[in-house]
């Protein structure tokens, strides 16, 4: 091969290498761009959605239905709550920031969306910080009910549906491990997880009980949280089992249980006391209808404002022919509103007026 041909070969290799690098750069830009977008869960590809669900939720969301389903089928954005019962907030934050990118949750000062710096995915539950109880892995929307309840250290508080303990430990955190916190659940197998989580988080002011909600009706609490069992349609992105289990019959069944729980929670309040009722479903029958039911049957129930920095939706005034009392002060969020789980929260006070 001549010297001229050798030089030409070198130039071609350089050009090829340059072109390859440009292509790689383009791929990197595309991948980076994609990584900034929430990703559709690969398990969603073969998912069958019930016709009745589609019809009902198109009625609920209208033109926003596709956006609801888009976010419901995406991977959940990971978030944690820093546990100040174990260490000061700034100390835990500084410790995490060595390996994690933290983005503050606007409505909860202890809450952060979290992303591992070195790898695409990482099991937060295996970190020393989790094992030591310095953090609690909890969806950002799930942090709302205790924030709205705003328990104080000297108060007597009831968490009626406490297991597995995310909100219970958050309440204890706000009470600074003082006062008395009754952590109740109706199922014994769920109490095991509750006990483990409360111990891990260093909660000392809680007493775990296994009772029906009605057991507490004649007692007198400053604050009550009823985080009611529900059809869970705000948490589809956490488990597609929700879609498989959903049915109009399940919604009606849950609504019956929720009416009993909200009444029991309200009756357990002392005059002037406050209750938060919350669910992780998008069903009006389990949300606005339940709050309207309480307001209708208990004249001393007063709905309070919920003032937190969050994108929210207008609560339903009616649905499927059923009109509700004024529930406009309730908080309703869908998964696409804040890239979180969907949630419903109502804050209710027992006034001094006798029912």
Q: Which residue numbers are catalytic?
A: 280
Show the CA angle centred on residue 162, arms to residues 160 and 159, nearest 5°. 40
Whether residue 327 contacts residue 346, with contact meaning beta carbons closer than 8 Å, is answered with yes
Measure the CA–CA gap between 264 and 258, rounded to whole angstroms: 10
Beta bridge partners of 208: 183
Decide if 157 contacts 224 (C-beta within 8 A): yes
Mutual angle of helices 248-267 and 288-297, in 10-degree steps: 40
How is residue 351 annotated by DSSP?
Answer: -
Q: How far apart, in Å, are the Cα atoms of 319 and each of 82, 159, 284, 287, 324? A: 39, 30, 7, 11, 8
* d(C-alpha 129, C-alpha 86), whole Å: 10
188 in Cβ contact with 163 (< 8 Å): no
Whole-number Å distance between alpha carbons of 65 and 9: 58
Q: How many helices (H) and strands (E) does the chain have?
A: 12, 14
**What DSSP state is assigned to residue 118?**
S
3-state secondary structure of 253: helix
∠ CA 345-104-193, rounded to 5°: 60
Do β-strands 108-116 and 135-137 pair in parallel, antiparallel, or remain unpaired? Answer: unpaired
């Amino acid at each position: 091969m001549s010297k001229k041909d050798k030089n030409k070969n070198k130039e071609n290799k350089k050009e090829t290498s340059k072109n390859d690098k440009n292509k790689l750069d383009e791929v990197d830009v595309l991948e980076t761009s994609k990584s900034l977008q929430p990703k559709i869960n690969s398990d969603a590809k073969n998912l069958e959605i019930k016709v009745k669900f589609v019809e009902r939720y198109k009625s609920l969301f209208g033109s926003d239905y596709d956006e609801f389903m888009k976010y419901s089928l995406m991977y959940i954005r990971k978030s944690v709550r820093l546990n100040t019962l174990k260490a000061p907030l700034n100390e835990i934050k500084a410790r995490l920031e060595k390996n994690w990118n933290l983005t503050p949750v606007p409505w909860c000062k202890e809450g952060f969306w979290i992303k591992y710096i070195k790898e695409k995915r990482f099991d937060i539950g295996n970190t020393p910080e989790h094992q030591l109880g310095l953090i609690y892995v909890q969806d950002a929307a799930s942090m709302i009910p205790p924030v709205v309840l705003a328990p104080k250290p000297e108060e007597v508080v009831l968490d009626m549906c406490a297991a597995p303990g995310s909100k219970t430990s958050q309440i204890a955190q706000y009470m600074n491990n003082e006062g008395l916190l009754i952590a109740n659940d109706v199922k014994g197998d769920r109490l095991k997880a509750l006990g483990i989580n409360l111990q891990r988080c260093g909660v000392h002011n809680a007493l775990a009980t296994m009772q029906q909600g009605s057991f507490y009706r004649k007692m007198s609490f400053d604050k009550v949280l009823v985080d009611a069992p529900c059809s869970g349609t705000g948490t589809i992105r956490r488990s597609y089992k929700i879609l498989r289990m959903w049915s109009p019959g399940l919604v009606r069944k849950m609504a019956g249980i929720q009416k009993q729980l909200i009444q029991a929670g309200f009756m357990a309040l002392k005059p002037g006391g406050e209750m938060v009722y919350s669910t992780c479903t998008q069903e009006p029958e389990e949300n606005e209808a339940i709050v309207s039911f309480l307001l209708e049957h208990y004249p001393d129930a007063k709905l309070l404002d919920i003032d937190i920095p969050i994108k929210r939706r207008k609560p339903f005034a009616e649905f499927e022919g059923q009109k509700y009392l004024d529930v406009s002060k309730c908080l309703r969020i869908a998964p696409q509103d804040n890239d979180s789980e969907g949630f419903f929260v109502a804050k209710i006070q027992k006034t001094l007026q006798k029912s």
